[in-house]
């Protein structure tokens, strides 16, 4: 039995993506910290779509938990692996909580790197797809969001690099990158946590359900990147953005 694994499946884009992939008949492994929430999502997915679903409660900002998590899920055949869990921080550089910046790197960069590498090493010869969630902030630097942007530049470069390595090497596995603009979710709430910035609503934002449709479109396409353009609302499917030598 094959599974799609989604990190950060308890809320926002990850939760919506779980519903979209379940609707398309995928069995799911749902990972995040809030186990109760994941269990209620799992029950709803099973009753609505008749798929199999497994819940894994894990704090992916803890390095030791990341490797244990991969060891636990390794027993399943995972044909789609979606690294979605991440958080942001809205602050001026001189006000950034250094501890929060470190946690962000641990989750957005370190966990994603560990999980991507282990997955590629196990699945490069199979029909498997790695989808990493970056952001438009992974291609542009926004004022007062520099640590988050830097983590997402990493995700973009790393994932595009993997995608091209796999293609050049003639491997069957594919790597892809979703780069949303603003999306309604719990993201702003966690990004302003422990800052002086007031919680706010995005303008011109997609819903998480719309972003899940784009994630599925990217999965089905031959393209590497789905990215929201700077001056538009639409996500555009395209090849790699960065130069590759």
Q: According to CB under 6 A, which one of 135, 156, 159, 226 is a site residue for ligand NAP?
A: 135
Tell the burial category of 121 from Cβ atoms under 10 Å away from its Cβ (0-12, 13-18, 19+). Answer: exposed
Which residue has the CB atom at the shortest distance from ligand NAP? 12
The reply to whether 152 belongs to the active site is: yes
- The nearest distance, CB 92 to ligand NAP, in angstroms, is 20
Kindly report the number of other CB atoms within 10 A of residue 75's CB atom: 7
- Among residues 20, 42, 100, 152, which one is catalytic? 152
| CA nearest to 228, candidates 170, 164, 177 | 177
How far apart are the two ends of the chain, measured CA to CA in Å? 38
Query: Does residue 221 bind ligand NAP (CB under 6 A)?
Result: no
Give phi and psi for 36, each to the nearest 5: -60, -45
Q: According to CB under 6 A, which one of 44, 52, 59, 217 is a site residue for ligand NAP?
A: 59
| Strand 129-133 to 77-83 pairing | parallel
Token couple for 98: 């250094």
Piece of 19-27, 84-92, 114-122, 219-227 that binds ligand NAP (CB under 6 A): 84-92
Query: Does residue 112 bind ligand NAP (CB under 6 A)?
Result: no
* Catalytic residue list: 148, 152
Contact residues: ligand NAP, CB under 6 A = 7-14, 32-34, 58-61, 84-87, 107, 133, 135, 180, 182-183, 185-187, 190, 208
């Amino acid at each position: 039995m094959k599974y799609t694994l989604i990190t950060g499946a308890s809320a926002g884009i990850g939760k919506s993506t779980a519903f979209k992939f379940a609707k398309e008949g995928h069995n799911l492994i749902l990972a995040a910290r809030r186990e109760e929430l994941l269990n209620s999502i799992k029950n709803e997915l099973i009753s609505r779509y008749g798929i199999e679903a497994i819940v894994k409660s894990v704090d992916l900002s803890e390095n030791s938990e990341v490797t244990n998590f991969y060891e636990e899920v390794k027993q399943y055949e995972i044909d789609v692996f979606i690294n979605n869990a991440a958080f942001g921080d809205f602050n001026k550089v001189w006000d950034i909580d250094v501890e929060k910046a470190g946690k962000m790197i641990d989750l957005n960069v370190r966990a994603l790197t560990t999980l991507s590498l282990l997955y590629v090493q196990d699945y490069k010869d199979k029909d498997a797809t790695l989808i990493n969630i970056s952001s438009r902030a992974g291609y542009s630097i926004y004022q007062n969001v520099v640590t988050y942007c830097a983590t997402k530049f990493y995700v973009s470069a790393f994932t595009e690099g993997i995608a091209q390595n796999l293609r050049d090497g003639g491997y069957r596995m594919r790597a892809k990158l979703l780069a949303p603009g603003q999306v309604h979710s719990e993201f702003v709430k966690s990004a302003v946590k422990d800052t002086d910035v007031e919680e706010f609503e995005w303008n011109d934002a997609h819903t998480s359900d719309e972003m899940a449709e784009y994630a599925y479109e990217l999965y089905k396409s031959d393209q590497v990147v789905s990215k929201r353009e700077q001056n538009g609302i639409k996500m555009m499917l395209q090849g790699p953005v960065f130069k590759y030598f």
